[in-house]
Amino acid sequence: MNVGIVGYGAYLPKHRIKVEEIARVWGADAPSYKKGLGLREKSVPALDQDVITMSVEAARNALARSGGVDPREIGALYIGSESHPYAVKPSGTIVSEAIGATPAIHVADFEFACKAGSEGMFVAHGLVKAGLIKYGIGIGADTSQGAPGDALEYSAAAGAAAFLFGSDNLLARIEHTFSYTSDTPDFWRREYMHYPQHAGRYTGEPAYFKHTIGATEGVLERSGMKPSDFQFAVFHQPNGKFPMRVGKMLGFSHEQMEAGWLSPTLGNTYSGASPIGLSAILDVAKPGDKILMCSYGSGSGSDSFVFTVTERITEVQGLAPKTRYMLEHEPIYLAYGEYAKFRRKIRKAE
């Protein structure tokens, strides 16, 4: 049985803040941050946006591209995020209710640092493949946290992408998957803490690069494919530099990675990052194209997927807002004070 994507959709908030504006407040050198991180600005959620609101909009966009799937036929909905609005109360129930998929649906919220979105995709497609459900949705969404003045503050961004999986009317088939996991303590947030901590440079070589390379080489070996067989590749994007560097180490070219490389102006959308990159690739893909996607989540693990785009892609690309359009169309730039209010970094009277 062929299993794959029946509908896809992303959602990006309209607000942005530039690296210069953050650096100005903390007395940091903006050009060196821009060069070091390879990014210029990042998205910021408004006060009335969170993982749930962005997931609803991304899921609605996925349904708009589904060719009329009845939401009541969706048997599972999984949201991966490290910024679920509630500590106890699922995000997924609200999203399922909003898209009209309740009550005959299995729902769970996943957490695995930046990999939680691809986990949701992995499990949803697996249940379709097992024949337990007709359709399943996997969503990656985050309004990620970065401590004021920390290097993470320059990149921690917001966005969501949703993928509806099924076994007929596919716009992209899933050919192979592979996951690569180990206990690698490079980034964490303890309960009740507002901001995560990270192990600095250690988040690179033994963490991001090892797992991304492990999962990509694993899926290439399983599929018997080589980098030059792909039209597109997208990797997790904690900053502007890492995805391009790991891609080149693996043998992918700049041209293969450009369509899904959003972090220079979007920032790091954590659980949303590689899924939103995949949505931007699907916006421009042609029938027959091969796509490689590989996520990375600290702690650590990577999920890789090989997709083949079908003829149906050209019918659905225009049925919902395209990801690059949402990234580039009339962004609203914030000063640091407004940003601090939006991100609730200001302590107020009780």
Partner 1 sequence: MSSARAWREYPQRYRYEAAVCDQCAKWFFPPRLVCDACGCREFTTKAMRRTGKVLTYTVIRVPPAPFKDQAPYVVAIVQMDDGPRLNVQVTDFVDGQLKIGLPVSLEFRKIYEEGEAGIINYGYKAVPV
Per-residue mark of binding to partner 1, 45-84 (x: CB under 8 A) = -xxxxx-xx--xx--x------------------------
Q: Judged by CB under 8 A, which of 104, 132, 193, 332 binds partner 1? A: 332
Judge whether 192 and 145 are in contact, CB under 8 Å: no
Whichever of 226 and 348 has its CB closer to partner 1, that residue is 348
Known active-site residue 294: no
- The pattern of x and - marking residues 20 through 49 that bind partner 1 according to CB under 8 A reads --------------------------xxxx
Q: Tell me the residue length of the chain.
A: 350
Tokens of 71: 């939401």
82 carries an active-site annotation: yes
- The residue annotated as part of the active site, out of 21, 57, 236, 294, is 236
Does 114 qualify as catalytic in the annotation? yes
> What's the N-to-C CA distance of the chain in angstroms?
57
Which one, 286 or 329, has the nearer CB to partner 1?
329
Size, binding site for partner 1 by CB under 8 A:
20
Q: Confirm or reject binding of residue 255 to partner 1 (CB under 8 A).
A: no
Measure the CA–CA gap between 336 and 321, rounded to whole angstroms.
29
Catalytically annotated residue among 21, 41, 57, 82: 82
What are the strands, taking DSSP E only, across the chain? 4-11, 15-18, 41-44, 74-80, 106-110, 135-143, 158-166, 172-184, 187-188, 197-198, 232-235, 290-294, 299-309, 332-333
Please name which of 59, 317, 49 lies closest in space to residue 164, comparing C-alpha atoms.
59
Q: Among 189, 324, 341, 345, which residue interacts with partner 1 (rule: CB under 8 A)?
A: 341
Catalytic one among 114, 153, 175, 294?
Answer: 114
Among 24, 31, 32, 100, contact with partner 1 (rule: CB under 8 A): 100
Query: Cβ closer to partner 1: 56 or 294?
Result: 56
Distance CA 11, CA 141 (A): 9
User: Rounded CA gap, 166 and 126, in Å?
Assistant: 10
Tell me the backbone φ, ψ of residue 221, rounded to 5 degrees: -65, -45
| Interacting residue with partner 1 among 22, 94, 133, 280 (CB under 8 A) | 94
- Residue pair 177/215 in contact by the 8 Å Cβ criterion: no
Binding residues vs partner 1 (CB under 8 A): 14, 46-50, 52-53, 56-57, 60, 85-86, 94, 97-98, 100, 330, 332, 341
By annotation, the residues acting in catalysis are 82, 114, 236
